[in-house]
Amino acid sequence: MIKDWTRRIFLTKTAWATAGASVLSAQIFQPKNNKQPNSTVSDSQDIQYTRKVPVRYEADIVVVGGGIAGISAACAAAKSGAKVILIERFAVTGGMLTTGGVANFCGQMNGQGEVFDSILTDLKSFQALGDPKRDSVFHYEILAIILQELLYRRKVQLLLHTRFVDARIKNGQITECLVSGKSGLEAIRAKQFIDCTGEADVARILGFQTIKGRPSDGLQLPMSLMFFIRHVDPKHAKIQLPEGWFQRIETKDDLPMTSIWPDGPGANAIKIKIPMYDSTNTESLTAAEIRARRRMMEVLDYFQRVEKKNWLLDHCSPIIGIREGCRILGDYVLTVDDLRAGRAFEDGVARGTYYLDGHKPDDDKRTYILPKDQLKVPPYQIPIRSLIAKDGKNLMMAGRCFSADQLALSSARVSTTGSMMGQAAGITMALAVKKKCNPRSVNPQEVRQIITQRGALLDV
Ligand SMILES: Cc1cc2nc3c(=O)[nH]c(=O)nc-3n(C[C@H](O)[C@H](O)[C@H](O)COP(=O)(O)OP(=O)(O)OC[C@H]3O[C@@H](n4cnc5c(N)ncnc54)[C@H](O)[C@@H]3O)c2cc1C
């Protein structure tokens, strides 16, 4: 059924930013009122236009974002019988785990529930899970295939190359979302929406309350770029960075935090820290991407020239790795104290098992917000209230953009916990559809029962 939908849209012209030359002098963009800081036009020049947009699809549930949280939400909801559409802006699903080049699961891998179990089973059958050093490492190109097939088996309608751009809301109830794909601007009508964008894109455009960064200055956990190198025969080794390009790193001490991972697809993965950028600001994110690729060449040059490694650049992740984006304020904000106490909640629907992996926001070295002896936490639960947006009636969230403080996020952001959160949100929304209500009216005990029936461990 195609209907017309009219929406007012405000546009503000923006200017391109240049990437900072030195990491610690890089400008930290903290825009106010959603305006780009380097905008070349004044507020008074905002434009307004009206356009008719076809309602191209209808579904019970729209999941926005196809990372591990979104995949888990969509698959869990579909298993409960809901008609689900998953929107993903890129060509592949998997988010940070695939497009971001993170090829490793952290946190407890068993007892996450049937969606995650199914992913592990498929990775094993492709012989794409584990290497001699770590069981949690996987081949991310294979993961991308497994995830798309999982969605297809569950009859989730997947729209790739489709970016969520706006939503229409009436009396706190989101009625349609507006997406932009290769077919143009289209609307999708649904009863329930789940924001799994990592950056709270749905909530932000609606003006819902969000939380971001360190309380004192808003700085987010640092980003990191994943790139991949090939080992070559010494006779094919070379120094790839030409004279006069970028800065030379001469000693190990001058490297940013650099982790060399066992295996990416056919190559070693190298992770370099790129702090002090804002993932929710176009100019800042542009600067981060540019800075990261420069840094990649500087670090590679150090290894090729100074350490005489026989490495050549193989490929680089198409998107910088974002640890912390923007979170949606929920009915409850999970805190680091909850994690330290190993807290159980009556409405606990997911479980976290990873340590407080909170890298210092303003440092590119291997530094943490907390002293090393304070990083460990016992298993803890995540209440359903942290997955329900405080503003509005029918928006849930899962994964990196759930409702938590920065340190709680530093643990709960990992893939295993993200999958559990997604599963819980999917099951809750499917129940809401069945009962013709909104997520707040769903009995958390019923959600918990289904979650445990599907093989997830909630015990703490
Ligand atoms: C450098 C780095 C290393 C890490 N290492 C590990 C590790 O070893 N093990 C581990 O378990 N975790 C690790 N993590 C954390 C983990 O990878 C992520 O936190 C987790 O994968 C996030 O999942 P998500 O689904 O919440 O978000 P994402 O993976 O970010 O997924 C969000 C998805 O939404 C899509 N999207 C965003 N906006 C829109 C929009 N407007 N419209 C449509 N689609 C949209 C994105 O393209 C993406 O696919 C690491 C993270 C980083 C950055």
Pairing of strands 223-231, 258-264: unpaired
pLDDT above 50 for 23: no
Are residues 409 and 395 located together in one domain of the fold?
yes
Instruction: Tell me, yes or no, whether 107 and 16 share the same domain.
Output: no
Task: Report CA(90)–ligand 1 centroid distance (Å).
Answer: 12
**184/332 same-domain check:** yes
Tell me which residue has its CA closest to atom 45 in ligand 1.
Answer: 65
Tell me the sheet residues that pair with 321. Answer: 224
Same domain? For 31 and 58 the reply is no
Residues in a beta bridge with 10:
48
Asked whether 303 and 176 are in contact (CB, 8 A), the reply is no
pLDDT at 36: 54
State whether 245 and 228 are in the same domain.
yes
Is it the case that residue 448 has pLDDT exceeding 90? Answer: yes
322: in domain:
no
Q: What is the reported pLDDT for 267?
A: 65
Distance 359 CA to ligand 1 centre (A): 16
- Taking the C-alpha atoms of residue 175 and residue 116, their distance in angstroms, rounded to an integer, is 30
Confidence of residue 135 (pLDDT cuts 50, 70, 90): confident
Is 234 among the domain residues? yes
Is there a single domain that holds both residue 119 and residue 187? yes
- Whether 218 and 453 have beta carbons less than 8 Å apart is answered as no
293 C-alpha vs ligand 1 centroid, how far in Å?
19
Residue 405 has pLDDT above 50, yes or no: yes
Q: Are residues 97 and 181 in the same domain?
A: yes
Phi, psi values for residue 319, rounded to 5°: -135, 140
Q: Could you tell me if residue 460 is inside a domain?
A: no
**pLDDT tens figures, 254-270:** 999 999 876 555 568 99
From 71, 76, 66, 62, select the one nearest 189 (Cα to Cα).
Answer: 62
Measured in Å, residue 412 CA sits from the centre of ligand 1 at 12
What secondary structure letter does DSSP report for 177? Answer: E
Reduced to 3 states (helix: H, G, I; strand: E, B; else coil), residue 404 is strand
Within-domain flag for 202: yes
Q: Is any ligand 1 atom within 6 A of the Cβ of residue 415? A: yes
Going by pLDDT thresholds of 50, 70 and 90, the confidence category of residue 32 is very low
In the 8-state DSSP scheme, what is residue 281? Answer: S
Minimum-distance ligand 1 atom for the alpha carbon of 401: 26
Pair (240, 207) in one structural domain:
no
| CATH code for position 74 | 3.50.50.60
* Ligand 1 in reach of 97 Cβ (< 6 A): yes
Q: Which numbered atom of ligand 1 lies nearest the CA of 322?
A: 53
Work out the pLDDT band at 442, boundaries 50, 70, 90. Answer: very high
**Is residue 400 lining ligand 1, measured as CB closer than 6 Å?**
yes
Q: Is there a domain that residue 93 lies in?
A: yes
Domains: count for the chain: 3
Give the per-residue pLDDT at 266.
54
What is residue 221's DSSP assignment? P
Question: What pTM did the predictor assign?
Answer: 0.93
What is the per-residue pLDDT across 60-92, written as a single tens digit (0 to 9) for each?
999 999 999 999 999 999 999 999 999 999 999
Amino acid 264: pLDDT: 52
Which is the closest atom of ligand 1 to the Cα of 94? 49
Closest by alpha carbon to 206, among 365, 398, 395, 339? 395
11 pLDDT higher than 80: no
Domain containing 31: what range? Answer: 2-51
Which of helix, strand or coil describes residue 399? helix
